[in-house]
Structure formats: structure tokens, C-alpha cells
Amino acid sequence: MSRLVNLTTPERRLRPSPETKTKRSTGSVAQLGYAILPSPRQDPDDKYELDAPEPSEREVKRRSKPPNAVGGGGAIPFFRRPASEDAGPWLEEEHEATEWLSLFYDLTVVAVLTVFSSTHELESPQAIPTFLSYFTVIAWIWTSQVHYDTRYQAEDGWHRLLKFLQITVFIYMGAASGNWSPGMIQDPSVTGINGKLATEMDAAAESFATVLTAFAISRGLLATQYAVCAWSGKKAERRIASQLLSVTTLVISLLLTAVAIVVPRRTNAQVMVKIALLYVAIGLEIISVFLHMHKSLHRYIRTSAIAERYSAFSLIVLGEGFISITRAFNRAISGLSEDNVATYGQVWLAIAIIFLLWALLFGRFRKEDVIDQKRALLWEATHFPLHFGLLLLLAAIVNVIVVISFAQGINSVATEFFETVDAINNNQSLSRSDQSTVQRYLNRLTLEPSYQSEFELLNELANLRNPPQDPSILAYQYFGQILLETTIVSTYRRQAKIQSYGLEVSSETLSALEDLYAVNATNPSNVTLTEIRRDRASEYLVQVIRDPLDEALSGVLWLFPTAGAVLILIAVRSLSWHTSNTFANWVTHTLQITTGIALGLLGILDIGGRDVDVLASKSDLEGTNALYHILQKKWPLSIIVLAYGTVYFGSLGIVRCAREFCRGGKARNMA
């Protein structure tokens, strides 16, 4: 049924609909469609509709223009001039660029961030500085462009041409990020480094130079845009101090970046200068933005446009979390742990965390709210640590899934494989189910010889009184090959990847694998020597299995601190946007901050040992930190879901109860 209206309100006058003038209707009220309930004084069979509201002056002006002037059919102009009113917005609202252009630009950010995240996975604390150094560059390129787009980007050919060039620069920057590692750009010939490491250092230097070149070009393009704005603003008799300050800052940033490119990389000091110049350039641009906002040089800011752009970036980061979780889930179910039911539960918890993050970010957010300059500045500044914190949190969540699935898979395979070896050495029979379990895992690998051939060889050697080779050592070496076959041969920065799980394998681990292969498997007559060789091979194998897991476990250490920091930053983001000090805001922000602090304090669980032997029994975690014990029970993600869920649903429940209480009090007072 249509809603009732006040028939006496002059702004919402009633008039008979055209259909009523031509015929009478005998249908029910539900059949009246858009009609509303008539007045008791009017014919009940007449249908009535609301008068359309009077169009605004801007809407009248917009309707009076031809289609090609308002973005409809026809060609758009190459360049739109700014509005002449100095105190108002730079462009008329109908002349602003379509939102699809900005969203199209954001797709480039998605691509670049995805490519970089796949080549620089946050799997250990050592990976954070490298990731942060690149994320700072791409985040600032996007942010500085947003500052321009939300104020000056028009629906014209000029800005579409510039957007094409900006997208091209971003793509080149993403393509060059594969070997990004600022700490490895020193010239290897000066320090006498050669071989593979020298090649990697040269590749890192080339990546650094390419990224800086793309950054410098982006500064030049943006400076050109501001210069054109200054020219057109002067023609329109508008103040152009803001544009001139931006042009000056961007030119200085471009020059600093150019110097960083040409500075030699022969010494550590020169390398530090190259890196410092890049981030000094970014720092100067940030200071310039603060001056613009603090001194209100922009004069007019449509805060809803800023809200749209930064919210879109937040969704990009959350989407990157879905990509990483899906990739980790794919690795888990296609790896050695495909029957691990616990992995499915962890993935469900990860999805729940991302959904709760979305709810906390956007559940009560209204982009239509108008805020002042300083609040807009604080709100924008909050997003860089927030987005980076989200990336760290999502990476730690992925690491939890990887560690649990990897530990389960390696434990299963190692247990079955070495039980088979023990049975062979002790002349014990093996059940068909035991053999099928091992074969199900290992027949998918390209092993030389195949598992069936290796099993027959080990069985034959065990039945000989004086075998020419020791079957135990051969079994250890064969298991090392099992790990090698799940590792990418081409290494990145002296590291390889276990394909099924994405775990890093350091050069030390690869050296241990080589030492394992080098152990003499010839069976000597000296029993003591045989035992020494077996012990040595066993130690190498344990190191080969343990080191990747220890590295992955270190990627879980920042889980709780970042979960708490993200929650606090979400509260700061909301506080800087919402101007009203309502009870709902007070409850929500208090819960977010207190819960965030509590999660952050759980970081003390990281204190303790970090060496875990994956071949040991599940209960043997003596000497390790408390977080690993919680991880063994698969509780970390559940704790975060519980905390985030309590904040979100708890605040909703408290506010609802308070409203019901107030309504009840009013009802009692009226009675």
C-alpha cells in the first residue's frame, strides 16, 4: 500500500492522474499502482499522484543545455573551462568526470597490487620493509592523483588522454616490481660479488630504476595537469595559488627522483642516498597536501567524492585479501593436505573476518556527510596506515591457513613414508591401505625413480644380508627429493617456493638439501660409521623440512597486534568523519578502541621460542611461544572473529536496547 501524505502540505499537492480523467476505476486500493489514498472529501474511485518537486536552479540550467554539454549523446569537448565563481567548486557538477573513469583507473591499482603481492608475499617479518617501501610509492601515486581528480577532473578529452597515460605508467611500474628490493641495488662488481647473487642485485637495481622512472613520469603528468588548471583558472579570473603550489612541489619531486636515478650505486652511502631521495620527494608532496588542506587553499572540497575514492581503495585492499585467501586455499587443497578438513574451517573464518572488516568500515558510513577541511585531512591521513595494516592482517591470516595445511600435509606424508621405511628395515609386512595412502600423495609428483620403483629398491636392499647401499639413507634422500619436486627450480632472491603452499625456502635450506644428497649411502662394514651417516642424513632432512615451516610461522607473529591496530584505526577513521557525538557513535567507538587494545596486547603471546620440529609429535612444543600452542589448536582466527563480531553485533545490540528503553520510558511518561 502506498504511504500516506499530508494533503495540506503545499510542496506535495495532489492532482488527479491522467488515467482518472479518462475513466473511473472500480478496483481495490492495491490496484491503484502509484496512486495514494484519496482524501475523504474526494471521489474514492479517483487516483491521485504527487506533483513533481520544483527543479533546482542548477537542474534547470542543466536541462537547458544540449546533450553534448551535459555528458549525454554527442561528442564531449576536448577541454572544459572552470566555473567563474571563485568561491564555488572548480567545475559545474554536470561537467565533472564520470565516476566510471576513476573506477577504471582503480583497476590498474588492483592489477599492480596483485602482481606485487604475488612476488613479494608477506611471509616473514623480514619481508615487511620491502613490501612497505613499494606500497608507499604506489599508494602515494594513487593518493596524489585522487587529490587532483576529486577537484579538477572534468568530463573532457584532455583528462581522458591523461588518464590513459597514467594507467600506462602504472602498468610499467607494476611490471617492474618483480625484483623490487631497495636493499640489494648496490653494484656487485664493487664488492666482488659474482654469480647468482650478482645477477639478482643487478635485477634489483634495474627494477628500482624502472619504478623511479615511472614515478618521475607520473609526477610530470600530474604537474602538467595542475599547470593547465592554473592557466585556465587565471583565464576564468580565479585564484590559482593552490595549483601553483602543487606544480612547484611536483617539479621539485620530479627533480629529486631524477637525481635518485642517476646517483651511482657503488657504495652503501650512495645506495642510501638513492633511497632517501625517493622518499624525501614523497614526503615533500605530503607536506604540500597538508598545507593545502590546513590553509584551505582548495577553498571548496566535495567530501563525498573523497569518500568515494578512498572507500574504493579500501575495497581494493579487501579484495586483495580474497585473492590471497583463494590462492592459499587452492594451494592447500591441491597440495599434500587435500584431506585436511581443518583447512576448510580456517578459510571460512578468514572470509568471516573480511566480511566483518567490511561491516566495520562501511556499516555506518555515509559518504553524503559534509565535513570540514581539517576533518577531511585527518580522515584521508588515516587511510595509509589503515590500508597497510589491512594488508598485514590479511597476510597473517593467509599464513595461518598455509601453516596449518602445510604442517598437516607434511606430517601425514612423513609419518606414512617413514613408517614404510621402518617396516622395510625391520622386515615387517605393510598393509595395502598404508601403501595406497603413500601412493595417493606421492604418485602426483614427478619423482625419479617413481615411488613404486624406489619402494621395490628399498625392499630389495632390506632383504639382503650385506646390501651395497644403506636403505635408510636412500630413504632420507628420496624424501628430500619429494620436497624438491614441490619447489620451484627458479629461485627469487636466493629463495624458492614450495608450490603447494607458497612457503619460502632459504638458501641455507637448499644447502642442507645438497648436503643431504652428498651423504655417502654406500653401506660400510663398520656399523658405527653407518650410524653416523644415518644421523647426519636425518639432521639434514629435519632442517630441510623445519626451516620453511619456521619461516612461515614467523609470518603469524603479527596477527593479533595488526588485528588490534586495524580496529583502532577503523575507530579513528569513523571519529574523524562523524561530527555528531551520539550515543551510538560513543558505544561503537569505545568498543572498537578497547577491543583493539585487547587484541594488541595479545602480541605478548609471541614471546618465547620459535623453532618447531615438524617431525615431532603434535604435543611436543616445549620451549616455543604461547602463540604457537594456540595455533596448534587452530584458535587464532576464531579469536579474531569473536572479537570483531562482538564489536559489530555488540554495538548494534546495545544501541537497539537503549532505543527500546527510551521508547518505553516515553510511553510510561505519556501514560
Contact 142, 109 (CB under 8 A): yes
- Three cell numbers written together for 507: 638458501
Nearest-angstrom CA–CA distance, 560 and 631: 12
**Res 485 pLDDT > 70:** no
Q: Considering its fold, how many domains does the chain have in total?
A: 3
Quick one: pLDDT at residue 15?
45
Tell me the per-residue pLDDT of 547-585, one tens digit each, with 9 for 90 and over: 877 887 888 999 999 999 999 999 999 988 876 777 878
Same domain, 220 and 288: yes
Contact 185, 208 (CB under 8 A): yes
Same domain, 34 and 107: no
Quick one: pLDDT at residue 2?
40
**Phi and psi torsions of 154, nearest 5°:** -110, 165
Nearest-angstrom CA–CA distance, 516 and 541: 7
Nearest-angstrom CA–CA distance, 556 and 568: 20
Q: What is the DSSP letter of 96?
A: B
Higher-confidence residue of 6 and 83: namely 83
**Residue 391 domain-assigned?**
no
Nearest-angstrom CA–CA distance, 60 and 42: 34
Same domain, 191 and 242: yes
Per mean pLDDT, which range of 126-140, 168-182, 275-289, 406-420 is the poorest?
Answer: 406-420
Same domain, 41 and 166: no
Distance of CA 419 to CAs 225, 427, 621, Å?
70, 12, 22
- Three cell numbers written together for 291: 598545507
Q: What is the DSSP letter of 69?
A: G
Nearest-angstrom CA–CA distance, 636 and 346: 10
Higher-confidence residue of 587 and 9: namely 587
Tell me the per-residue pLDDT of 583-623, one tens digit each, with 9 for 90 and over: 878 888 899 999 999 999 999 998 888 777 655 555 556 67
Quick one: pLDDT at residue 241?
84
Higher-confidence residue of 56 and 382: namely 382
**Residue 125 domain-assigned?**
yes
Is the peptide bond preceding residue 449 cis, with omega within 30 degrees of 0? yes
- Three cell numbers written together for 159: 583528462
Quick one: pLDDT at residue 495?
43
Q: How many CB atoms lie within 10 A of CB 70?
A: 17
Same domain, 148 and 214: yes
CA angle 166, 168, 170 (to 5 degrees): 70
* Range of 38-52, 282-296, 502-516 with top mean pLDDT: 282-296
Tell me the per-residue pLDDT of 364-378, one tens digit each, with 9 for 90 and over: 888 877 777 778 888
Same domain, 274 and 221: yes
Higher-confidence residue of 204 and 341: namely 204
Higher-confidence residue of 397 and 609: namely 397
Please report the DSSP string for 367-384 in residue order.
TT----HHHHHHHHHHHH
Q: HSE-up of 297 (CA within 13 Å, CB side)?
A: 16
Same domain, 236 and 187: yes
**Residue 312 domain-assigned?**
no
B/e letters for 274-291, b = 16+ CB within 10 Å, e = fewer, are bbebbbbbbeebbebbee
Average model confidence (pLDDT) across the chain: 79
**Res 18 pLDDT > 50:** no
What average pLDDT score do residues 22-43 get? 41
Give me the residues paired with residue 14 across strands.
50
**Residue 282 domain-assigned?**
yes
Quick one: pLDDT at residue 648?
93
CA angle 625, 626, 629 (to 5 degrees): 105
Same domain, 27 and 139: no
Three-class SS state of 187 = coil
**Res 358 pLDDT > 50:** yes
**Res 284 pLDDT > 50:** yes
Nearest-angstrom CA–CA distance, 345 and 400: 12
Quick one: pLDDT at residue 26?
42
Same domain, 145 and 93: yes
Q: Tell me which residue of 93, 83, 90, 30 sits closest to 56, measured CA to CA.
A: 93
Nearest-angstrom CA–CA distance, 250 and 226: 9
Q: How many CB atoms lie within 10 A of CB 345?
A: 15
* Range of 20-29, 383-392, 449-458, 500-509 with top mean pLDDT: 383-392
**Res 352 pLDDT > 90:** yes
Contact 364, 292 (CB under 8 A): no
Last residue of a domain, one of 284, 301, 318: 301
What are the residue ranges of helices labelled H in 426-485?
432-442, 451-462, 471-485
**Res 8 pLDDT > 50:** no
- Three cell numbers written together for 33: 499502482
Distance of CA 243 to CAs 142, 149, 226, 284, Å?
18, 13, 5, 15
Tell me the per-residue pLDDT of 180-233, one tens digit each, with 9 for 90 and over: 999 899 888 887 888 788 888 899 999 999 999 999 999 999 999 999 999 988
Last residue of a domain, one of 301, 324, 344: 301
Structural domain harbouring 173 = 85-301
What average pLDDT score do residues 109-134 get? 90
**Res 238 pLDDT > 80:** yes
Quick one: pLDDT band at residue 527, thresholds 50, 70, 90? Answer: confident
Last residue of a domain, one of 301, 331, 353: 301
Q: Tell me which residue of 543, 542, 535 sits closest to 470, measured CA to CA.
A: 535
Cell 577541511: give the residue: 373
**Res 39 pLDDT > 50:** no
Quick one: pLDDT at residue 437?
67
Same domain, 154 and 251: yes
**Residue 610 domain-assigned?**
yes
What are the residue ranges of helices labelled H in 295-372?
303-334, 341-362
Q: Is the dihedral of CA 326, 503, 404, 417 positive or negative?
A: positive
**Residue 135 domain-assigned?**
yes
**Residue 617 domain-assigned?**
yes
**Residue 639 domain-assigned?**
yes
Same domain, 103 and 179: yes
Contact 185, 274 (CB under 8 A): yes
Q: Tell me which residue of 458, 423, 420 sits closest to 439, measured CA to CA.
A: 420
Quick one: pLDDT at residue 586?
86
Quick one: pLDDT at residue 215?
96
Q: What is the DSSP letter of 445?
A: S
Q: What is the DSSP letter of 4?
A: P
For residue 409, give every residue at least 6 positions away whose Cβ sits within 8 Å of its Cβ, in sequence order, or none: 335, 336, 337, 338, 340, 500, 501
Quick one: pLDDT at residue 417?
74
Same domain, 27 and 128: no
**Res 488 pLDDT > 50:** no
